[in-house]
Structure 1
Amino acid sequence: MNTSNPIPAGVIEGFFGRSWQWPQRRQLASFLSEHQLDFYLYAPKSDPFLRRHWRASHPAEQWRELAATRETYRDCQIDFGVGLSPLDLCTDQGITDTAALDAKIKHLNTLELDYLALLFDDMRGDIPQLAQRQSELAERAANLSNAKRVILCPTYYSNDPVLEKVFGPAPEHYLETLGQTLDRAIDVFWTGPSVCSDHYPTEHLLEVNERLGRKPFLWDNYPVNDGAVRSQHLYLSPTKSDRSTAKPYIAGIAANPMNQFYASWPALAGLSQVLTSQQAPQCQTILQNLYSEQTAHYLKQDLPTFEQGGLNALSDHDKQILIERYTPLGIIDPIAAEICDWLAGGYTFDPSCLTE
């Protein structure tokens, strides 16, 4: 772990839709090391063996890739973790099946994880004693795991009313009960005032701290773009500088990046700069440091189009012009190929990904 940050700061690959490739995940290790970030959590929603089929083992080839990725992070001295979503264990039918959780944790122990995340997001909340049950499962996992740090993601991980709209009303005093029953050594993910929060006001973080009985571990949904609306955009601006003012009130911060691996770099590099230097990151400087001069020039020029207008504001003719602009640059800058792929519809949001 890097020592430049007073809190752990890193990346959680926790988005829906098209996932990163294994070589990209391994490449991220050197990127994080270079930018003084501390950890990576492997938790893509597309991995069924961490979600819908979590009881089953990964196929041999996929497990070899996961193990090799873990070793890459060890070599780079970056902490590595996995996010597991045993959602059905919270139901009446799953309560008697904790042996499956034990077996899964013991299997994951062979990776010698630094982080283990137990993720209870994206599930119905109308389950009796939901907070108590999740606390029990998290503590069971923590007792069996050899990970140095365990983090729980609650079902209601923000004050955003959209969560109750989608997953039903939260149980009364859900967060307070979770905080009271959960071992203080276990961290709790929180996305802020909204699912995708632009800012983290001090007053808000203090309120969450009081309700949970601990500092929240921020799951920062910037620059993630996996939803129906956000997938229409590429967020190339650096992370906002107010993340620095949040540091005294949080246990750590995990940035959830975009489906586009290389296009996520400016936000992540900006997060590093904010946390280590407490200076507002300059977009042009970051783009020039990450990409070739020509690509950085075009990205700065097209940034308003990608971030604000997005695909819906572009005609087919506009898209073709942009594709012709970036295609030659794909030889030296992989982000250019990603942009062309995005413009051509390669990252179109598929609602079916939400049920995988």
Structure 2
Amino acid sequence: MEIMEKILRYKGVIEGFYGPMWRHEERLHLIRHMREWNMNIYIYSPRNDPYHRFCWNLPYPAQEMKNFTELAKECKRNGIEFSYAVSPGSSFNPDDPQCRKALIRKLKPFIELGCKFFPVFYDDITVSFGFDTAEGEKQAERQAKTMNNIVNDMVKLSPNARFLFCPTQYMTAEKSRYLCRLHAILDRRVETVVTGVDPDTDGVCPRTFSDAGAKRYFENFGRRPFFWDNFNVRDNALNILHWSPYSGRGANLDKLCTGIVLNPQNHYILNIPIFGCMGDYLKNPRKYNPQKSMKKHLEKFMGQQAAPLGMILSKWFTSEWFAGKGSGFLLSENNLPPIKEKLKSHANARYALLKEIRKRMVSLCNFDVHFENTPMPTQVAASLIVYAHLLSEYAKAMVEFCDTVLRKEKNCKEAGRRLLERVDRPETECFRLPFSLIAYARECAKIAD
């Protein structure tokens, strides 16, 4: 298939994570800066907003509607499309006319606010059917019928309305009886969400979303993908920083997808450099350079003096969700030398490895001190200092461990225990190192056994 012209209509952010939601002021900040990031749409979809999901059939309280009114006005003022998403899949009965009427009542105030793009999500619901079964086909027909009825009801109120649907199976470009049937009967006016199209990476939080995968989605289903991008989301581990520059996306997605929206971190301010990087990608995917872009946006975010420290944090706190060992994807442990098998029986190789680990770690032992003594915006410093401390503590622990083993002391096994005591902290702690760095320390401790 020859790639010709850009078809990417929707470029922006979906507030679609679980857990703590953004504050109203943070949403306003986003909307006021989206144009400079080459974005044009904000989708409201916090998964733990009860009125968005489990209480989808209830109207919002007056204060919440007042906030939505302000968001809609701010979007209009800044040339951004405001979109409100609803997720009724958990309890919506398509055979009950009252359910359809309740959904239209829910969406009507947003039509009055000027919304024209309406996402309806059937993701993350409890299912008792296989996607490649007859029951999967039946459920696809049921969901498509529901969505088609919603489309027909909505266009009576808003003739220019547009729609987005998130299937229950949303993480693949591969054929299933569910997806094939859904696409066959779903109204052609409806875009469809997909989070992953490549078989060699996780489908929900993929490290890559390739041109080939996007093409395969179209070839299999006859519909262009609308990419819900979970690049740096961390809603199932709020205590870990995901700070890689936006990367791993195909160079021609602007010619293959109808939408790309980033579902980011709960801690709003930490997304700002990533928004900037994504904006550079959206401007020209074929000339985009992740590292140069991150450097530029960290200088804006932290100031020129502090930006190099931000680059170090970005290097060690990567967006490594579901990156398998040896996969080549954004693993923080890639900053350290690989630990080969059978090191115990090769003393020289073992000591060479420890010396190299020490060499890479020693310069980070006082990273937190440098961070604390470098001028930068106060809110930025307060949001990042804990990660500076974590990185320095990891470096100190690793250096101490390496020194003990290199001195060939008798208490090497105890050194391994102390290493893990310092860095292998419970997942419930307030802040945590990247998983791969902890796994690396565990492998190091085995050397001392």
Change (3 A) 1:134 1:89: farther
Query: Is 1:239 matched with 2:246?
Result: yes
The Cα offsets for residues 130-183 of structure 1, whole Å up to 9 and x where unpaired, read as 21222222223333433642100111101399xxxxxxxx9x611111101111
Change (3 A) 1:347 1:21: farther
**Residue 125 of structure 2 corresponds to which residue in structure 1?**
123
Q: Is the 8 A contact 1:237 1:266 kept in 2?
A: no
CA distance in 2, matches of 1:69, 1:341: 32
3-state SS of paired residue (2:18): coil
**Residue 111 of structure 1 corresponds to which residue in structure 2?**
113
Match of 2:68 among 57, 66, 69: 66
**Residue 210 of structure 2 corresponds to which residue in structure 1?**
201
Match of 1:149 among 153, 162, 169: 162
**Residue 435 of structure 2 corresponds to which residue in structure 1?**
none
3-state SS of paired residue (1:50): coil
Shift of 1:93: 8.1
Shift of 1:103: 1.6
Unaligned runs of 5+ in 2: 1-5, 130-134, 198-202, 319-330, 334-363, 391-428, 433-449
Q: Larger radius of gyration, structure 1 or 2?
A: 2
**Residue 189 of structure 1 corresponds to which residue in structure 2?**
193
Say which structure, 1 or 2, has more relative contact order (CA 8 Å, 6+ apart): 1
CA distance in 2, matches of 1:105, 1:126: 29
Q: Which moved more, 1:173-182 or 1:263-272?
A: 263-272
Query: Is 1:265 matched with 2:265?
Result: no
Query: Is 1:222 matched with 2:231?
Result: yes
Match of 1:40 among 39, 42, 48: 42
- Amino acid in the other structure paired with 1:187: E
Q: Which moved more, 1:14-23 or 1:337-346?
A: 337-346
The Cα offsets for residues 77-104 of structure 1, whole Å up to 9 and x where unpaired, read as 1111011000135558867622211221
**Residue 290 of structure 1 corresponds to which residue in structure 2?**
301
Residues 314-329 of structure 1: matches in 2 within 5 Å?
322=368, 325=371
Change (3 A) 1:92 1:186: closer
- Amino acid in the other structure paired with 2:303: S
Q: Is the 8 A contact 1:89 1:97 kept in 2?
A: no
CA distance in 1, matches of 2:110, 2:14: 17
3-state SS of paired residue (1:253): strand
Q: Is the 8 A contact 1:326 1:339 kept in 2?
A: no
- Amino acid in the other structure paired with 2:265: M
Change (3 A) 1:327 1:218: farther
Q: Superposition RMSD on alpha carbons, in Å? A: 3.2
Shift of 1:341: 7.2
3-state SS of paired residue (2:267): coil
CA distance in 2, matches of 1:22, 1:69: 8
Shift of 1:57: 1.0
CA distance in 2, matches of 1:257, 1:24: 13
Change (3 A) 1:148 1:214: same
- Amino acid in the other structure paired with 1:268: F
- Amino acid in the other structure paired with 2:259: G
3-state SS of paired residue (2:51): helix
**Residue 335 of structure 1 corresponds to which residue in structure 2?**
380
Give the alignment's TM-score, normalised by structure 2: 0.65
Shift of 1:251: 1.2
Change (3 A) 1:285 1:222: same
- Amino acid in the other structure paired with 1:18: P
Q: Which moved more, 1:284-293 or 1:19-28?
A: 284-293
Q: Is the 8 A contact 1:327 1:336 kept in 2?
A: no
Change (3 A) 1:112 1:320: farther
Query: Is 1:54 matched with 2:63?
Result: no
Shift of 1:260: 1.5
Unaligned runs of 5+ in 1: 162-169, 311-317, 349-356
Q: Which moved more, 1:271-280 or 1:256-265?
A: 271-280
**Residue 166 of structure 1 corresponds to which residue in structure 2?**
none
Change (3 A) 1:225 1:329: farther
CA distance in 2, matches of 1:253, 1:149: 16
Change (3 A) 1:275 1:115: same
Q: How many residues align?
A: 326
**Residue 442 of structure 2 corresponds to which residue in structure 1?**
none
Change (3 A) 1:19 1:326: farther
Match of 1:210 among 197, 210, 219: 219
Match of 1:136 among 132, 140, 145: 145
CA distance in 1, matches of 2:99, 2:64: 25
CA distance in 1, matches of 2:153, 2:366: 54
CA distance in 1, matches of 2:60, 2:430: 26
Change (3 A) 1:323 1:117: farther
CA distance in 1, matches of 2:204, 2:280: 24
